[in-house]
Structure 1
Amino acid sequence: MSAIAELLASPVHRLVGRPQDGPAPAPPGELVERVELRAGLGIVGDRYFARPAHRDAGVTVIAREGLPPGAGLAQVRRNILVAGIAVDDLVGAVLTLDSGDGPVRLRVKRRANPCAWMDVTVGPGAWRALRGHGGVRCVPLDDGVLRVGPVTFAVTEAEFEA
C-alpha cells in the first residue's frame, strides 16, 4: 500500500553555515498532517514557496525505502515522504498524488542530491548512502491539498514544454 508518511512545511532554512556547527533549531510545527500546494509556486508556508530560484524545484519528494531506519523529513529536509513509491528515477515524468482531496500533479524536474549535512542530521555515512536515493525536486502543476495517510499515485510522461 502506498502512503504519504510525513509532510514538512518549514518556514526557515535550518541547514546554514558549516555542517560541523550543526543545524539551526527546528521551528515548532514544521511536520504537518496536510500541506496546501499552489501550481508553479510550491507549498504554502514553506521556505521555498514562490521563491524565483526555486520555482522549478520548490517541492521535494523522497521515498521512505531509501532512508536509513529512524530517519525522516526533519533530518533530510524534504517536503513529502512517501512509502511504496519509487521516486528517484522519475526525472522528466509527472507524478500524480491523491490523498483524498483530489489529484495533485508534480512535474519531476531533477534529483534532489544529498549534501554533507546528511552526515550530521541523519548520521555518519548518510551522505554517501543517500546518493541516488535523495529524492526528487518537483514543480506542482495544480493547486491542491495532500495529507498524511494512504495515497493513490500515477506516473505519466511529462507534456512537451514550449
Structure 2
Amino acid sequence: MPFPFFGDDKSTIARLLSTLPQTGRVEWIGLRPARREQLLTVEEATAETDRHLTGDHARPKPGGKRQITLIQHEHLAAVAGFLGLAMPLAPGRLRRNVAISGLNLLALKNRQIQIGAEVVLEITGECHPCSRMEEELGPGGYNAMRGHGGLTARIVQGGMFRVGDEVRVLEKSSA
C-alpha cells in the first residue's frame, strides 16, 4: 500500500498543504513613524481591521494586500550568513513589521493566521526585497534577501498583539 501522501491524486497536494499542525511565536514588532525612518521596536501593537498597524506610517487602502509585513525570524541568521556577518540581523533592519518564529511563513500563502487572542491576518503574497536592502545591509543586501523577504498580509480582524504571543494557522472554511 503506498504512503498516503503520494500518488497521482490531485488532492495529494491539498492534503500536503493542509498539514501545518505547529504554532509559531511573535518574536519582534516594529513600527515606522515616517517614511525612510528607522523602525521602532515595540512590545505590543494594535492592528486596525482592513487598515494598518496604529503608529506605522503606511496607510494602505481598505482591501489592500500589504497592510502588514511579516518576516520569518529564522531567516535573520540566513541573511546574515549570506552577507558574512557573525550574528543574526536585527529584524528592524529588514523593514518588516513582525518577525515570527516556528512556522514556515511561505507555506501560509492564501491562508489565515491568528496572532494572540484577537488578530487575524490573511497572508496575501511575498514581500520581495527592494534596493533599500543595499543601503541598509551593504553590497549584496538585495541578493541576500531574495527568497527571505517575508510576506504581506491583510488585517481581517484587528486587535492588540504582543511579543511572545502565539501564532496559529486557522483552518480553511469549507464555504
Q: Same fold (TM over 0.5)?
A: yes
Q: Hey, what does 2:67 align to over in structure 1?
A: 58
CA contact (8 A) 1:71 1:122 kept: no
Q: 1:131 to 1:96 in 2, by over 3 A?
A: same
In the comparison of the two structures, how many residue pairs are matched? 144
Shift of 1:159: 5.6
Where does 1:27-42 land on structure 2 (aligned, <5 Å)?
Answer: 30-42=40-52
- CA distance in structure 1 between the partners assigned to 2:95 and 2:63 by the alignment: 15
Residue 11 (1) aligns with residue 33 (2): yes
Secondary structure of 1:44 counterpart: coil
Which is further off, 109-118 or 2-11?
2-11
Letter in 1 for 2:66: A
Q: Which residue of 2 aligns with 1:128?
A: 143
CA RMSD of aligned residues (A): 2.4
2:101 to 83, 93, 114: 83
Residue of 126, 145, 159 corresponding to 2:160: 145
User: Could you tell me which amino acid in structure 1 is paired with residue 131 of structure 2?
Assistant: A
Larger radius of gyration: 2
Structure 1 residue 103 and structure 2 residue 93: aligned? no
Task: Work out the CA distance in 2 between the residues paired with 1:59 and 1:160.
Answer: 26
Give the share of equivalent positions with the same residue, in percent.
24
Offset at 1:160? 9.0
State the alpha-carbon separation in 1 of the partners of residues 172 and 33 from structure 2: 30
Other-structure match for 1:155: 169
Separation (CA, whole Å) in 1 of partners of 2:47 and 2:154: 10
Tell me: CA distance 1:46–1:127, structure 2 relative to 1, closer, same or farther (3 Å): same
More strand by share: 1
- SS of the aligned residue for 1:52 comes to coil
Deviation at 1:141, TM superposition (A): 0.9
Letter paired with 2:26: I
Any stretches of 5+ residues in structure 1 without a counterpart? Answer: 15-24
Shift of 1:8: 0.8
Q: Is the 8 A contact 2:29 2:98 kept in 1?
A: yes
